[in-house]
C-alpha cells in the first residue's frame, strides 16, 4: 500500500516539476512558496479533518511540522533559485540518500539486503536522470550554487526522517493538519525576509493568472504529491518511500518523450531502466 501511494506521489511531483521547470524564476521564491502554502491549507486541512485528526497530538506535532515547513518546503524553494538549474536539480535529487541515512541512524530503519540493493539502484537511476550533459564551472565555483541545494537535500532528508518518527506514533493526518497550519506563518516570514508584501503578491498573481498558470499548477501538483508522500509514511519505511518519490525526475523524462516527442538519449534510457528495476525490486522485496 505504501509503495503504491509513493508511486502516485512521484507522479504528481513529476507533474509539478514539469510545470515549474521553466517558470519558477518568474516569481520570487517566497511568493511561489506562499501559493504552495495556500494550496496546502485548502487541500490538506479538509482531508485531515475528514480522515481524522487527533487534536490532543497537535501540540506535539507542531515542532516537527515547523521543521518540515522550513527544511523540507521553504528551503527547497529558496535553493531552486540558486545557481545553474542542472546542478541544482541533481543536488536536490540526492535527498533520498540522506533520508535513507538519517532513517537508519535516527529511526532505526533496517532494510534487507535485497531491499537495500533495490533502493541503491533506484537512487542511482534517479541521479543519472538529473546528471547534466555539461557543467557551468563558473557557476559551480560560486558557493551558493552548491551550498544551498545541498543544504536543502540534507534538510529534506532530516525533516522527512523526523516527521516519519512522529507519524509512526501519532498518525499521518494529525501531522498533515499541523503542517498545513504552520506553513502559512512560515510563508509570511519568508515573504518578509525577501521584502515582499502579501497582498500585492496575491493581487499580482491572481490578476495575471494566465501568465502564472504554470506556477499555480506546479504548486497545486506539488502539494498533492507531498501530501501523498506523508500518507505513504504510514504504510512503509521512509527509506523506501523517499527513493520512490525521488524518481519524479525520471517521470518528467517520460512525459517529455511521450507527450512532447522529445528524443530519448542513451543515458536517460539507462536511468529509466534502472529506476524501473529499482522500484520493481522494492515492491517485490517489501
DSSP annotation of 134 reads S
| pLDDT per residue as tens digits for the range 239-256 | 898 888 888 877 777 776
Report how far apart, in Å, the C-alpha atoms of 50 and of each of 45, 54, 174, 177 are.
9, 12, 11, 11
Which pTM was predicted? 0.84
d(CA 151, CA 154): 5
- Each domain of the chain, given as residue ranges in start order, spans 2-285
CB atoms within 10 A of CB 16: 23
| pLDDT per residue as tens digits for the range 195-228 | 887 777 677 666 666 667 777 788 888 899 988 9
Q: Output the average pLDDT for the chain.
A: 81
Report how far apart, in Å, the C-alpha atoms of 63 and of each of 57, 60, 159, 164, 257 are.
11, 7, 11, 13, 42
d(CA 104, CA 239): 8
Angle between helices 113-130 and 85-92 (to 10 degrees): 170
pLDDT the model gives residue 205: 65
Amino acid at each position: 500500500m505504501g509503495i503504491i501511494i509513493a508511486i502516485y506521489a512521484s507522479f504528481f511531483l513529476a507533474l509539478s516539476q514539469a510545470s515549474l521547470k521553466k517558470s519558477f524564476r518568474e516569481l520570487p521564491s517566497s511568493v511561489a512558496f506562499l501559493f504552495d502554502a495556500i494550496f496546502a491549507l485548502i487541500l490538506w486541512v479538509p482531508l485531515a479533518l475528514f480522515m481524522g485528526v487527533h487534536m490532543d497530538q497537535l501540540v506535539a506535532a507542531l515542532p516537527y511540522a515547523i521543521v518540515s515547513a522550513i527544511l523540507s518546503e521553504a528551503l527547497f524553494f529558496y535553493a531552486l533559485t540558486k545557481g545553474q538549474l542542472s546542478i541544482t536539480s541533481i543536488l536536490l535529487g540526492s535527498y533520498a540518500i540522506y533520508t535513507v541515512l538519517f532513517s537508519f541512524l535516527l529511526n532505526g530503519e533496517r532494510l534487507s539486503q535485497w531491499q537495500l540493493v533495490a533502493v541503491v539502484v533506484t537512487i542511482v537511476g534517479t541521479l543519472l536522470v538529473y546528471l547534466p550533459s555539461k557543467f557551468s564551472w563558473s557557476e559551480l565555483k560560486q558557493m551558493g550554487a552548491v551550498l544551498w541545494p545541498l543544504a536543502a537535500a540534507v534538510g529534506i532528508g532530516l525533516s522527512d526522517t523526523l516527521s516519519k518518527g512522529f507519524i509512526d506514533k501519532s498518525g499521518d493526518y494529525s501531522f498533515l493538519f499541523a503542517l498545513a497550519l504552520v506553513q502559512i506563518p512560515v510563508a509570511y516570514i519568508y515573504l518578509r525576509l525577501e521584502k515582499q508584501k502579501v497582498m500585492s503578491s496575491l493581487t499580482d498573481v491572481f490578476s495575471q493568472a494566465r501568465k502564472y498558470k504554470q506556477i499555480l499548477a506546479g504548486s497545486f501538483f506539488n502539494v498533492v504529491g507531498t501530501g501523498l508522500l506523508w500518507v505513504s509514511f504510514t504504510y512503509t519505511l521512509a527509506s523506501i518511500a523517499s527513493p520512490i518519490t525521488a524518481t519524479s525526475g525520471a517521470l518528467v523524462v517520460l512525459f517529455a518523450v511521450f507527450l512532447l516527442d522529445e528524443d530519448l538519449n542513451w543515458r536517460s534510457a539507462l536511468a529509466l531502466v534502472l529506476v524501473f528495476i529499482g522500484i520493481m525490486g522494492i515492491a517485490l522485496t517489501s
